[in-house]
């Protein structure tokens, strides 16, 4: 289960998505109406698109072939 403290632990740096691609977390943002916390990140491949994802989803664990893995794993700054 994710908590507010889990989302606060997200720091700028490089992360690997559980599917293998790498992303640069730029920072944390809040939705102007709902105040929901989002992660702003950029692909480190292809067109280097910018993405946003709810922080709660960013720190979720996923099931991959019967094993639990973090959706995004911090690699470093």
Which pair of structure tokens corresponds to residue 50? 């910018």
Give the model's pLDDT for residue 9: 84
pLDDT > 80? residue 42 = yes
Beta-bridge mates of residue 61: 70
Give the model's pLDDT for residue 27: 96
Q: Percent of the chain at pLDDT above 70?
A: 90
Alpha-carbon distance 59 to 13, whole Å?
14
| Torsion angle (degrees, nearest 10) of CA 73, 42, 2, 4 | 120
Q: How many domains does the chain have?
A: 1
Q: How many CB atoms lie within 10 A of CB 28?
A: 16
| Residue range of the domain that includes 46 | 4-76
Taking the alpha carbons of 41, 23, 16, 26 in that order, is the dihedral positive or negative? Answer: negative
Domain harbouring 23, CATH code: 2.30.30.320
């Amino acid at each position: 289960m994710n908590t507010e403290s889990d989302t606060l632990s997200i720091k700028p740096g490089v992360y690997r998505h559980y599917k293998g691609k790498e992303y640069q977390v730029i920072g944390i943002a809040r939705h102007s109406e709902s105040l929901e916390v989002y992660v702003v990140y950029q692909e480190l491949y292809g067109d280097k698109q910018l993405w946003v994802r709810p922080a709660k989803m960013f720190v979720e664990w996923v099931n991959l072939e019967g094993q639990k893995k973090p959706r995004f794993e911090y690699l470093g700054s």
